[in-house]
Amino acid sequence: MGEIRVLKTIGETRAQVLKYKKEGKIIGLVPTMGYFHEGHINLMRKARKECDVVFVSLFVNPIQFGPKEDLASYPRDLEHDIKMASKADVDYIFFPEVSEMYPERFQTKVTAGELSKDFCGASRAGHFDGVCTVVSKLFNIMTPDFAYFGMKDYQQLVIIEKMVEDLNFGIKIRRCEITRESDGLAMSSRNTYLTPDERSAAPQFQKSLKALSCEIIEAVKCGKNLNLNEAVNRRCDEILAAGFKKVDYLKIADAQTLNIISNFDQLKKSREIFIAGAMFIGKTRLIDNIVFEI
């Protein structure tokens, strides 16, 4: 469709959406907070393949950040983002001001349920309510047929799938694989915070997650009773020894229900396993995960 158009208001965005709906076009939405990397571009490419019109929302959503988190320093660069998004031939970037999304006296929120209680939800109070609220607003503004989310934020993805089901949004959620650097580090806008030393230590996170998943698969195959707590602790030590400062969490769960698996008998009842972690390296909190069948 040519050059990307940047839309700043809900009104003009709705008008465009309405026009395409009347023409029977399939609309795709890629919700983002910007500062694009190849991970974002892969979501956009997937949307481009499946949809007639591709909207990307670019909004650093203040209500999903805690008071001590990095809202003010979150990287922002619209020019860079427009250039990157044009690689995926995106049609529109919805780029609202905070006051457009949350005008004075805004007061209604969507509350995430049980799925939000553990993992990142446990260390980031209110985060997933903020995510569900903004994503609901984006869904209502752009009424997409398909919406694209990366598996790096796997808990977010599962929560949004449940919200779409529970609140009857009638939108198909597309899961997209994690995009990684060549050394395995999951791509993230927050990787720009890393110093050179932190950046070279960071890939150990994914290596340890992968090694833990292999250990589990091997133990299941051999019928060996692996002590999951000990296995997790060994991997945490390994990650800390590589230069990480602090473990926020490293947990094993059922990939569908996100129920924590704490022993091998529980593990054998799950078809698909989710291992997720959040780790501090210097001041930066990185998350990563692995989902695998057993």
Based on its alpha-carbon atoms, the radius of gyration of the chain, rounded to whole angstroms, reads 20
Residue 74 or 292 with smaller CB distance to ligand PAF: 74
The one catalytic residue among 37, 40, 80, 127: 40
Residue 156 or 204 with smaller CB distance to ligand PAF: 156
Residue 61 or 208 with smaller CB distance to ligand PAF: 61
Report the C-alpha gap between 98 and 117 in whole angstroms. Answer: 27
The CB-of-40 to ligand PAF minimum distance in angstroms stands at 9
Handedness of CA 165, 169, 170, 172 (dihedral sign): negative
Report the C-alpha gap between 163 and 185 in whole angstroms. Answer: 29
Reply yes or no on whether 80 is catalytic: no
Report the C-alpha gap between 35 and 78 in whole angstroms. Answer: 8
The CB-of-130 to ligand PAF minimum distance in angstroms stands at 8
Residue 261 or 276 with smaller CB distance to ligand PAF: 276
Q: What order do you get walking across the sheet with 172-176 strand by strand?
A: 5-7, 92-94, 53-58, 27-32, 146-150, 172-176
Residue 32 or 289 with smaller CB distance to ligand PAF: 32
User: Nearest to residue 94, comparing CAs of 62, 61, 127, 51?
Assistant: 61
Answer yes or no: are the C-beta atoms of 46 and 174 closer than 8 Å: yes
The CB-of-43 to ligand PAF minimum distance in angstroms stands at 10
Q: What are phi and psi of 98, to 5 degrees?
A: -60, -40
The CB-of-203 to ligand PAF minimum distance in angstroms stands at 22
Q: How many CB atoms are closer than 10 A to CB 67? A: 7
The CB-of-33 to ligand PAF minimum distance in angstroms stands at 4
Cross-strand bridge partners of residue 293:
272
Q: Which amino acid is at 170?
A: G
How many CA atoms, within 13 angstroms, populate the side-chain half-sphere of residue 45?
A: 12
Question: Which residues of the shown chain bind ligand PAF in the complex (CB under 6 A)?
Answer: 31-33, 61, 64, 131, 134-135, 153, 156
* Residues tagged active-site: 40
